[in-house]
Amino acid sequence: MRDRIYLCLAHTGNLEQKYIQEAFDSHWVVPLGPNVNAFEKDLKDFVESSGSAEIIDGVETDDPQLGRRLRPAGDDGLKYQRIQGLNKEVVALSSGTAAVHLALIACGVKPGDEVIVQSFTFCASSHPITYLGATPVFIDSEPDSWNMDPDLLETAIKDRIAKTGKKPKAIVPVYLYGMPGPIDKYIEIANRYDIPIIEDAAEGFGSRFNGQVCGTFGKYGVLSFNGNKMITTSGGGALICPDSNSWHDVMFYATQAREAYPYYHHERIGYNYRLSNVCAGIGRGQMTILEEHLEHHRHVQKLYEKLLGDVSGIQVHVQPDKRYDSNYWLTTVLLASDLKVKGQDKAYAAAITGAVGGAAGVIHSGGTIHTDCEPNVNVEAMRLALDAKFIESRPLWKPMHKQPCYKDAPAYVNGVSESLFKRGMCLPTGPWVSDDDVRYIVDSIKESIE
């Protein structure tokens, strides 16, 4: 029997066990310690590996100005980019969700406030807004990157000010499946209204826009190291902070807001959100193979593009232009609405009662077969056909503005995310997915089309 091909499973190198053993040997099996500090430094070094750039003449590759460096910008060797140092700080946390939560607190979000957030995303982008008693305001997508539509963003800001008399407290764009959004436009709009940006780069670790690492453009940047992300700490995340003062405040809340007394004294509510020293040891080892993972995901994406390029009715989502440099966390495809897939008559034949594929933690049965917004029958038929071939696939994220728990939340929509959700699906791209696996997946897709 063929082994099952999963969407994206963690791949480990040779150093994880070394750092984990050091944690046990030194008795640092707690949410602080040498591995946590070293992992945060590794993350800081990575996110600071890019910055705002300008083309200058010159041949020297060293720059005496603090926080700046030069790198070649062309093949002629006569022009270099001057990179402005980002000077970011990083806090390692228990999850990407915790990072979103703490970023919102750092931006002053309180009960009764509104926060603008991308609708086409996983619930971790929006749920922490409700933790704070605030209201998410959902923004639909633009069709190129599939991320937050900048025109709708500005429309929403103006409308919320008119209706509530105050500005939203933050803007949370998301880099869906690793694809950068038009962050330059988001920043221009956010600056115009003086609203901080929290970049949800949980799926976009290693992605870049105009050469700059995603998660470093806004005031805060969110990373995730869940077991299916670009690197993993088994579970975990991080918050990229703009400076040392912000880092200090975030660290305070992440460590239960304990005041400096010889006993436990709390003047504010804090959270137990720090990453453990054991998990950070995994992260240190993973950082040594990050570039290998990025290269693999991009290679798999290109192979899908090549092998599916002549398949009528299947469209692989690709980068809009050269400014976008996606990590391609997952390869995503759209099925034409009129594409005929074998077994469409059996799609949605029975209600799902548990976990589907790798969707662990599903313990509550919805009780019905259909909802008011679901993938087309050909998408569900394709998912079932691939599952029968031991291939995990998954629909795209269901837009948050179509989720029952957010039925009363303000939403500014154009139909893009709902249309994509109905037609799209994710294909395996993880480190364990080989070229032969991709060929098998594509052949299985072709065999499933009538």
Give the position of tokens 């460096």: 69
The answer to whether residues 61 and 168 belong to one domain is no
The answer to whether residues 278 and 230 belong to one domain is yes
The answer to whether residues 223 and 336 belong to one domain is no
CA dist., res. 174 & res. 198, Å (int): 9
Q: Give the pLDDT of residue 48.
A: 87
**Which tens digits make up the pLDDT trace of 82-117?**
445 678 999 999 999 999 999 999 999 999 999 999
CA dist., res. 262 & res. 260, Å (int): 7
The answer to whether residues 312 and 250 belong to one domain is no
Q: Does any domain span residue 410?
A: yes
The answer to whether residues 358 and 294 belong to one domain is yes
Q: Does any domain span residue 16?
A: no
Q: How many domains does the chain have?
A: 3
CA dist., res. 113 & res. 393, Å (int): 37
Q: Give the pLDDT of residue 285.
A: 94
CATH number at residue 239: 3.40.640.10
Last residue of a domain, one of 241, 266, 287: 287
Q: Does any domain span residue 320?
A: yes
**CB neighbours of 121 closer than 8 A, spacing ≥ 6?**
174, 176, 200, 397, 400
* Rg of the chain taking only CA atoms, in angstroms: 22
**Which tens digits make up the pLDDT trace of 158-172?**
999 999 999 999 999
User: Mean pLDDT by 10-residue block, N- to C-terminus, for the chain (450 residues)?
Assistant: 84 80 78 91 90 48 38 48 70 98 98 98 98 98 98 98 98 98 97 98 96 95 94 94 96 96 96 95 94 97 98 98 97 98 93 62 74 96 97 97 97 98 97 96 98
Q: Does any domain span residue 247?
A: yes
Q: Does any domain span residue 163?
A: yes
The answer to whether residues 321 and 215 belong to one domain is no
Q: Give the pLDDT of residue 395.
A: 97
Q: Does any domain span residue 17?
A: no
Q: Which residues constitute the domain of residue 64? A: 52-84
The answer to whether residues 276 and 318 belong to one domain is no
Last residue of a domain, one of 287, 308, 341: 287
Q: Does any domain span residue 5?
A: no
Q: Give the pLDDT of residue 71.
A: 47
CATH number at residue 377: 3.90.1150.10
The answer to whether residues 359 and 319 belong to one domain is yes
CA dist., res. 184 & res. 4, Å (int): 40
Last residue of a domain, one of 237, 264, 287: 287
The answer to whether residues 191 and 294 belong to one domain is no
Exposure class string for 139-177: b at 16+ Cβ within 10 A, else e: bbbbebbbbbbbebbbebbeebeeeeeeebbbbbbbbbb
The answer to whether residues 96 and 76 belong to one domain is no
The answer to whether residues 312 and 441 belong to one domain is yes
The answer to whether residues 40 and 142 belong to one domain is yes
CA dist., res. 381 & res. 49, Å (int): 44
Q: Give the pLDDT of residue 65.
A: 32
Q: 3-state SS of the chain?
A: CCCCECCCCCCCCCCHHHHHHHHHHCCCCECECHHHHHHHHHHHHHHCCCCCEEEEECCCCCCCCCCEEEEECCCCCCEEEEEECCCCEEEEECCHHHHHHHHHHHCCCCCCCEEEEECCCCHHHCHHHHHCCCEEEEECECCCCCCECHHHHHHHHHHHHHHHCCCCCCEECECHHHCCCCHHHHHHHHHHHCCCEEEECCCCCCCEECCEECCCCCCEEEEECCCCCCCCCCCCEEEEECCHHHHHHHHHHHECCCCCCCCCCCCCCCCECECCHHHHHHHHHHHCCHHHHHHHHHHHHHHHHHHHCCCCCEEECCCCCCCEECCCCCEEEEECCCCCECCHHHCCCCCCCCCCCCCCCCCCCCCCCCCCCCCCHHHHHHHHHHHHCCECCEECCCCHHHCHHHCCCCEECCCHHHHHHHHEEEECCCCCCCHHHHHHHHHHHHHHEC
CA dist., res. 308 & res. 302, Å (int): 10
Q: Does any domain span residue 41?
A: yes
